[in-house]
Amino acid sequence: MDTTKLTIKEARSLLDSRKISVTELTRTYLDRIKTYDDKIDSYLSVCGESALEQASEAQKLIDSGKGEMLCGIPLSIKDNICIEGTPTTCASKMLENFVPPYTATAVNKLRAQNSVILGKVNLDEFAMGGSTENSAFKKTKNPFDTTRVPGGSSGGSAASVSASLALGSLGSDTGGSVRQPAAFCGVVGLKPTYGLVSRYGLVAFASSLDQIGPIGKTVEDCAIILDGICGQDPKDGTSLSYEAGASYASAVSGGIKDYKIGLPKEYLTEGLNSEVRNALYKSIETLERLGAKVEEFSMPSLKHAVPAYYLMSSAEASSNLSRYDGVKYGYRAENCRSFNELIGRSRAEGFGREVKRRILLGTYALASGYYDAYYKKALKLRTLISQGFDEAFSKYDVVLHPTTPETAFKLGQNTDDPLSMYLADIYTVSANIAGLPSISLPCGYDANGLPIGLSFTGKPLGEREILRAAATFEADFAPEFRVPVL
């Protein structure tokens, strides 16, 4: 069967009408992984045996008419999301042999619906990076051009969905880590409102910014996965209590007639690649043709989003990653004669360069004497940026912007230039800073045939508005939509 254009929704109807079995579907994906993942390198571990067991359980439920929306749907999980008994490495030598005795709430919820977990996929070490090149184990390739990066840090998630090595995936997004790789790999990625999905079991990078999000082939697929993983969790004190309402999957229809869409001027600066800019303007025309009103607005605080983001995220990371000290689990340096040597050498040998860079940056930002100048200022910017968005959403239903300033770059191109790597996050970090939902979907392809991403950002808990805008655009864009040729 051709899975390259298969969506969760289509798979659902194939499964429910018994045209295929869950085992057949699962085997198809496992076979594709065997055939193509040597080329893409998206998986860090494949759970073939347990996936087939889960498949036959799911089939029983379907046969008894009790299968829910995600029952029997084969998914991949970013390897910083814990699954009991399965290695969770965070693509770090530090956690190479770490097997958690607990499962992330989001995965528990997927399993409660009898989704099939195909395996764990690659990322930048501890989710720090935008190319998945910072993995300690392998470099994932972009399915549209294997000489290029898939983006990051959820590069394994985006590549596995793009290459049809999974029907959908869970990634995590701290500053764009779901949306940017989705854009690079020509798929859809959604970062939910902070607190909509439990973070329990997601290995923390920057706690106040991290959020688990779905990656799928379509907007509706992302909505379906979001329906499966959202909800308040007693194990996460920052998860939101909110009125549930209708499913997110049902929010995709209805069109965008009379939608008011804002476009921040600050995002249209010289760093924006001309092909991406052209695709953005073409998209605006499409949106207007579909009945929306698009206008530019100014939000000066956005200019400071990247430095504010790197200060906050690195500060929190420096603290969150302190627990990897070689004492209880994870990498431990050998032949140490003191605690200080044990911790120093374990961390020096166990962490990669980018992780160490952020730990140093964050430690510095929090040091007494520098706190007010850096971390505290970043917190003030956070307030300013949130206020700016509040104001914008008093005028607009959604905010529109490019997902990235450029399309996927060559492997190795930016590895020695952290600053330009950081600037690649320029359009995505503000949604994390303000805790807003944001979705990226394909809106065009550049001269090299590389996908270009378009983002809609919504007000807190405004998932329905951005899903509807994105799905409406997507339906119109469908004839141009491409899948990679492997």
Partner 1 sequence: MKYIPTIGLEIHAELSTKSKIFCDCPVGFGGEPNTRCCPVCTGMPGTLPVLNKTAVEYTVKAGLALNCQINEFSKLDRKNYFYPDLPKAYQISQFDLPVCKDGGLTINTPEGEKFIRIERIHLEEDAGKLLHDSYDNYSLADYNRCGVPLIEIVTKPDLSSSDEAREFVEKVRLMLLYSGISDCRMEEGSLRADVNVSIRPVGTDKLGTRTEMKNINSIRGIARCIDAEIERQSELLDEGEAITQETRRWDDNKGESKSMRSKEDAHDYRYFPEPDVVPISFTKQQIEALRHSLPELPNKRFAKYTADFGLSETDANLLLTSVSLSDFFESTAKECGNPKAASNFIIVEVLRRLNDSGLAAEAIPFGGNVLGRLLKMVDGEEITAANAKKVLADMFDTGMEPEAIVAGKGYKVINDTGEVENTVREILAANEKAVAEYLEGKEKTFGFLMGQCSRALAGRGNPKVVQDILRSELNRLKGSC
Query: Would you say 374 or 396 has its CB closer to partner 1?
Result: 374
Contact between 179 and 428 (Cβ < 8 Å): yes
Of residues 287-306, those binding partner 1 (CB under 8 A): none
Quick check: 481 binds partner 1 (CB under 8 A)? no
Quick check: 329 binds partner 1 (CB under 8 A)? yes
User: Minimum distance from CB of 128 to partner 1 (Å)?
Assistant: 14
Query: Would you say 102 or 481 has its CB closer to partner 1?
Result: 102
Nearest 5°: the CA angle 55, 58, 63 is: 125
Quick check: 207 binds partner 1 (CB under 8 A)? yes
Separation between Cα atoms, residue 316 and residue 375, nearest integer Å: 10
Contact between 128 and 153 (Cβ < 8 Å): yes
Nearest 5°: the CA angle 456, 460, 464 is: 55
The residue from 28, 56, 238, 247 that contacts partner 1 (CB under 8 A) is 238
User: Minimum distance from CB of 469 to partner 1 (Å)?
Assistant: 30
> Which uninterrupted H or E stretch holds 454?
strand 451-457
Count of all residues that appear for the chain in the document: 486
User: Minimum distance from CB of 110 to partner 1 (Å)?
Assistant: 16
Query: Would you say 201 or 228 has its CB closer to partner 1?
Result: 201
Q: Could you tell me the two tokens for 202?
A: 């997601």
Helix axes 219-229 and 105-112, enclosed angle (nearest 10): 100
Quick check: 386 binds partner 1 (CB under 8 A)? no
Antiparallel, parallel or unpaired: β 168-172 and 212-216: antiparallel
Candidates 23-31, 197-205, 244-252, 291-299 — which segment interacts with partner 1 by CB under 8 A? 197-205
Quick check: 363 binds partner 1 (CB under 8 A)? yes
Separation between Cα atoms, residue 74 and residue 291, nearest integer Å: 36
Query: Would you say 101 or 479 has its CB closer to partner 1?
Result: 101
Q: Which phi-psi region, left, alpha or beta, contains residue 151 (left: φ > 0; alpha: ψ -120 to 50)?
A: left
Query: Would you say 83 or 251 has its CB closer to partner 1?
Result: 83
Query: Would you say 241 or 274 has its CB closer to partner 1?
Result: 241
Quick check: 110 binds partner 1 (CB under 8 A)? no
Quick check: 421 binds partner 1 (CB under 8 A)? no
Which stretches does DSSP call E strand in 146-256? Answer: 168-172, 188-191, 212-216
Output 280-285 pairs: Cβ under 8 A, ≥24 positions apart: 280/401, 280/402, 280/443, 280/454, 282/443, 282/444, 283/400, 283/443, 283/444, 283/454, 283/473, 284/400
Torsion of CA 370, 375, 376, 380, to 10 degrees: 140
Antiparallel, parallel or unpaired: β 212-216 and 188-191: antiparallel
DSSP string, 113-133: TT-EEEEEE--SGGG--SSST
Q: Nearest to residue 415, comparing CAs of 351, 349, 355, 354? A: 354
Residues with Cβ < 8 Å from 57, sequence gap 6 or more? 114
Candidates 48-56, 229-237, 267-275, 412-420 — which segment interacts with partner 1 by CB under 8 A? 229-237
Please identify every residue annotated as catalytic: 78, 153, 177
The residue from 78, 199, 217, 401 that contacts partner 1 (CB under 8 A) is 199
Instruction: Report how far apart, in Å, the C-alpha atoms of 157 and of each of 86, 113, 141, 160, 172 are.
Output: 17, 20, 11, 5, 9
Candidates 162-170, 195-203, 285-293, 300-308 — which segment interacts with partner 1 by CB under 8 A? 195-203
Q: How far apart are the first and last CA of the chain?
A: 16
Query: Would you say 4 or 208 has its CB closer to partner 1?
Result: 208
The residue from 15, 55, 73, 82 that contacts partner 1 (CB under 8 A) is 82
Residue identified by tokens 């999980």 is: 77
The residue from 2, 368, 416, 419 that contacts partner 1 (CB under 8 A) is 368
Residues binding partner 1: number (CB under 8 A): 43
Separation between Cα atoms, residue 87 and residue 99, nearest integer Å: 4
Quick check: 205 binds partner 1 (CB under 8 A)? no
Quick check: 424 binds partner 1 (CB under 8 A)? no
The residue from 62, 163, 197, 204 that contacts partner 1 (CB under 8 A) is 204
User: Minimum distance from CB of 117 to partner 1 (Å)?
Assistant: 16
Quick check: 366 binds partner 1 (CB under 8 A)? yes
Quick check: 484 binds partner 1 (CB under 8 A)? no
Quick check: 98 binds partner 1 (CB under 8 A)? yes
Quick check: 339 binds partner 1 (CB under 8 A)? yes
User: Minimum distance from CB of 320 to partner 1 (Å)?
Assistant: 9
Quick check: 322 binds partner 1 (CB under 8 A)? yes
Quick check: 479 binds partner 1 (CB under 8 A)? no
User: Minimum distance from CB of 80 to partner 1 (Å)?
Assistant: 8
Candidates 39-47, 132-140, 233-241, 445-453 — which segment interacts with partner 1 by CB under 8 A? 233-241
Quick check: 44 binds partner 1 (CB under 8 A)? no
Binding site for partner 1 (CB under 8 A): 80-82, 88, 90, 95, 98, 100-102, 104, 199-204, 206-208, 234-238, 315-316, 318-319, 322-323, 325, 327-329, 339, 343, 363, 366-368, 371, 375
